[in-house]
Amino acid sequence: MAKRKDGKETRRKLLDTACEVFAEKGFQAAKVTEICRRAGVNVAAVSYYFGDKESLYTSAWRQTVEDFLSSDIPPPEDLPPEERLFITIRSIIRKILSIDTDKGYFRRLEMMEMANPTGLVDNAWKELIGPRQQKLLKIIRDIMGPAASENAVRLCGMSIINQCRGYILMQKNRLAFLESEELTPEKADQIIEHISRFSIAGIKGVCNS
Amino acid sequence: MAKRKDGKETRRKLLDTACEVFAEKGFQAAKVTEICRRAGVNVAAVSYYFGDKESLYTSAWRQTVEDFLSSDIPPPEDLPPEERLFITIRSIIRKILSIDTDKGYFRRLEMMEMANPTGLVDNAWKELIGPRQQKLLKIIRDIMGPAASENAVRLCGMSIINQCRGYILMQKNRLAFLESEELTPEKADQIIEHISRFSIAGIKGVCNS
Amino acid sequence: MAKRKDGKETRRKLLDTACEVFAEKGFQAAKVTEICRRAGVNVAAVSYYFGDKESLYTSAWRQTVEDFLSSDIPPPEDLPPEERLFITIRSIIRKILSIDTDKGYFRRLEMMEMANPTGLVDNAWKELIGPRQQKLLKIIRDIMGPAASENAVRLCGMSIINQCRGYILMQKNRLAFLESEELTPEKADQIIEHISRFSIAGIKGVCNS
Amino acid sequence: MAKRKDGKETRRKLLDTACEVFAEKGFQAAKVTEICRRAGVNVAAVSYYFGDKESLYTSAWRQTVEDFLSSDIPPPEDLPPEERLFITIRSIIRKILSIDTDKGYFRRLEMMEMANPTGLVDNAWKELIGPRQQKLLKIIRDIMGPAASENAVRLCGMSIINQCRGYILMQKNRLAFLESEELTPEKADQIIEHISRFSIAGIKGVCNS
DNA sequence: AATGAATGAGCCTTCATTCAT
DNA sequence: GATGAATGAAGGCTCATTCAT
């Protein structure tokens, strides 16, 4: 192999490392110096390949989300809405808890972005994540029936998303409702099962009143 | 009023402003320069009164927690657990949405600490906050009945806390399930009502199975 | 003397050195590192006292111009316009050639700004230099008489100013119309005399046609 | 036309663009990155064709001077000196204001070099430009007559050259003696006419005294 | 008790240049 | 012959901290 690679190699290495460091520390706390040191490239490579730190961050975020969503299979339309909700929740939780493929970068990036919004990823967020929300709302609407107000549907959507999203922070969660910090697949299944039953009952509970 | 600055005045102003800025930006992103500018005091005052930025942070955290807990009135023990849960949720949401007295500093600080743990406040946390969790779990246990497993109780606790916590960052929330960004007291009451009904139904839902 | 001065001392030193270095090299080529090294202060002092390099430049420019103009005495109004023109030209040339007080900073700053305009000094320029131009135009108008068009007056103004301004660049002037590079007071008087006579004849020359 | 790049094409494009950018910004402020971007060639082309930035600059300077001189037609010797002066001034002003062929690169480069001497072009200057000055001085001498001192001739030369040279930066000229920033051919003719009359009168003015 | 002054360390970025192909 | 890739050096600026009063 030559000393000068084909260019894509260095860029990819840099981007991967950026995902890692940004996920660990967030945008501001992550230093380009450290990213480049870890990636084994020169500091100027950031400028060369991405222009500046912000663009590197945006690129890292996009790549992370795309990896995150790439394995996402929507539930079949002909199943009853309760089962579709279960599948959706399972998919979300598995991703959040990194049961499947990714390295949990998305979860941590999202956490960082929630705490210290940079505003750099809003466009990508709407584009990539927005449609998923609409699908969830449709499932809820199917469960609640046509009589449900749009506001009620949205509130149920918040309840479900927020239940799931709470586990984003779980690892560092001092609340420690769960006994052990360690996350086993069995524990993940328990969580999935719980949120699904809790939420279906909750949705129906807010209908009858 | 005399104009003499008795020293406590400056210190208090600095500490209050520190709570504000740390809650807005987190430990790292908050700049002592800005804190002092906003407080109208000299930069050197941080060193003079608190030693360094970390000590200022710890002090700000303590004061915030104390303020937070001082206004927290636990629900009467003789009410039915559903009503106690409602009161608890109302209290949490009102604090989060800053409907009542405090300025939401605690929740913001907590979120920041979760995302970028400084490790500076762990001791105070366990000591001061832990007992509140137990009270919530007890209410849930009362609703679920003695047959419920401890694990199930904790999962319900997570569901409730996470539903509430989701509104911490609602203003900057890209999820935007709620139509309007503006938060009126009426909307807050809707949210309280919703989470309560959703959760009570949810709790009962996970029992029967 | 204490190690920490009274603050004005350091600032003044920094500003004086900035005038010197900016006059030598122009805005871009001057490095704050060098300015601070020469001034014997820390690099951060620029930020502390002036905010950034641009503000330091503007301040240096202002100080230089104020020094430059401070010794400027306008000619008495009751003299014949030809004599007033002579006095004005003498004043300009003496300043440009640093016969009197200053260290030639203005001349060199102006040269730099002509070659590489930063646009940072335009406001100060209009404010401080503009009125002088109007006085010159009035003198020319008095010589030309009421029949002269405003355009003709302005063109004569350009001719005079440009003749003088050409000597800004004289030191490094490869044109070398003047035999020696060395500038004696006698040579300066020759130049003053020449420009005055040349210009008065020129003004009258463009009237009769 | 064939698309084959025969090497000379790229080099020529690069050199032309270098003239343009160096004339706009001077040696230091001109960035090789920008030159290459504008020329549509790779950054490494500078190194490849010219070695380094300094050599590129020297080459650009030489080409500019050659272009400049190639279009310069000296006035016929048998005309009266006043008419020869007029033609010379017209030629200078037209070049400066880019009325004719060239793009004013030479004058801009010259100004830049005067303000921030690189010392890279001194040899070429003396060799190529010096003789033109002598021609102007001869015309002046012819007008003044044999009684005129050499010093007086040179001072008149300065007056004329400086009047012309003032218009080099007229577009960015804060003096703004001219009402409009816009430069029309008519305005250029006015300037030429003015300088000629002003100068001929001026020359004769300094003789009679 | 309180503060203005000053600083050192470090960060992001720019840029001319070099290297391997 | 020509270029994409990569880099070292340096620049301007920020910021928490310290010093002398």
Could you read off the pLDDT of A37-72 as tens digits, one per residue? 999 999 999 999 999 999 999 999 999 988 888 877
What is the spatial distance between Cα B203 and Cα C199, in angstroms, rounded to a whole number?
Answer: 99
Determine whether the interchain pair A201/B205 forms a contact, defined as Cβ–Cβ distance below 8 Å: yes
Task: Yes or no: say if B106 and B20 are a contact pair by the CB < 8 Å rule.
Answer: no
What's the whole-number mean pLDDT along residues D188-198? Answer: 95
Residue A100: is its pLDDT beyond 60? no
Output the average pLDDT for chain D: 84
Give how far Cα A131 sits from Cα of A92, B175, C28, D160, D197, Å.
14, 11, 50, 74, 77
Tell me which chain B residues have a C-beta less than 8 angstroms from the C-beta of A136.
none
Where residue D124 falls among pLDDT bands split at 50, 70, 90?
A: confident
Residue C122: is its pLDDT beyond 90? no
Which amino acid, one-letter code, is at B133?
A: Q
Looking at residue D94, its pLDDT comes to 85
Q: Which residues of D170-180 are buried (b: 16+ CB within 10 A; e: fewer)?
A: beebbbebbee
Chains that touch C (3 or more CB pairs under 8 A): D
Residue A33 contacts strand E, CB under 7 A: yes
Which of B122, B159, B194 is the closest to A195 by Cβ? Answer: B159
Where residue B92 falls among pLDDT bands split at 50, 70, 90?
A: confident
- The answer to which of A72-86, B106-120, B133-147 has the lowest mean pLDDT is B106-120
Q: What is the CATH T-level fold of the domain C71-208, as seen in this structure?
A: Tetracycline Repressor; domain 2 (1.10.357)
- Nearest CA to D174 out of C130, C93, C62, C168 is that of C130
Residue C182: is its pLDDT beyond 90? no
User: pLDDT per residue over A148-159, tens digit each?
Assistant: 999 999 999 999
Strand E-proximal residues of A, range 50-79, CB below 7 A, are 51-54
Looking at residue D125, its pLDDT comes to 77
Residue A73: is its pLDDT beyond 60? yes
What's the whole-number mean pLDDT along residues D30-51? Answer: 92
Which of D152, D159, D172 is the closest to C195 by Cβ? Answer: D159
Residue D191 contacts strand E, CB under 7 A: no
Strand E-proximal residues of B, range 34-53, CB below 7 A, are 41-45, 47-48
Pinpoint the alpha helices (H) of chain B: 8-29, 32-39, 44-50, 53-70, 81-96, 105-115, 122-144, 150-165, 185-207
Tell me which chain B residues have a C-beta less than 8 angstroms from the C-beta of A202.
197-199, 201-202, 205
Residue D139: is its pLDDT beyond 80? yes
What's the whole-number mean pLDDT along residues A163-177? Answer: 67
Where residue B3 falls among pLDDT bands split at 50, 70, 90?
A: very low
Looking at residue B124, its pLDDT comes to 77
Residue C14 contacts strand F, CB under 7 A: no
Nucleotides of E under 7 A from a protein CB: 1-21
Tell me which chain C residues have a C-beta less than 8 angstroms from the C-beta of D28.
28-29
User: pLDDT per residue over B23-66, tens digit each?
Assistant: 888 888 899 999 999 998 989 999 999 999 999 999 999 898 88
Residue C18: is its pLDDT beyond 80? yes
Enter the tokens of residue C131: 């009125």
Residue C156: is its pLDDT beyond 90? yes
Tell me which chain C residues have a C-beta less than 8 angstroms from the C-beta of D162.
162-167
Min Cα distance A203 → chain B (Å) is 6
Strand F-proximal residues of D, range 46-85, CB below 7 A, are 47-48
Min Cα distance D101 → chain C (Å) is 23
Output the average pLDDT for chain C: 85
- The answer to which of A108-122, C9-23, C164-178, D43-57 has the lowest mean pLDDT is C164-178
Looking at residue A171, its pLDDT comes to 56
What is the spatial distance between Cα A32 and Cα A197, in angstroms, rounded to a whole number?
Answer: 45
More confidently predicted of B188 and A138: A138
Torsion-angle region of residue D104: left (phi > 0), alpha (psi -120 to 50) or beta? left
The single-letter DSSP state of residue C76 is P
Q: What is the CATH T-level fold of the domain D2-66, as seen in this structure?
A: Arc Repressor Mutant, subunit A (1.10.10)
The residue lying closest to nucleotide E20, measuring its CA against C1', is A4
User: pLDDT per residue over A1-30, tens digit each?
Assistant: 344 566 678 899 999 999 999 988 889 889
What is the spatial distance between Cα B105 and Cα B96, in angstroms, rounded to a whole number?
Answer: 9
Q: Give the residue extent of every domain in chain C.
A: 2-66, 71-208
Residue-by-residue DSSP string for A75-139: PPTTS-HHHHHHHHHHHHHHHHTT-SSS-SHHHHHHHHHHHS--SSSHHHHHHHHHHHHHHHHHH
What is the spatial distance between Cα B98 and Cα A14, in angstroms, rounded to a whole number?
Answer: 42
Looking at residue A181, its pLDDT comes to 57
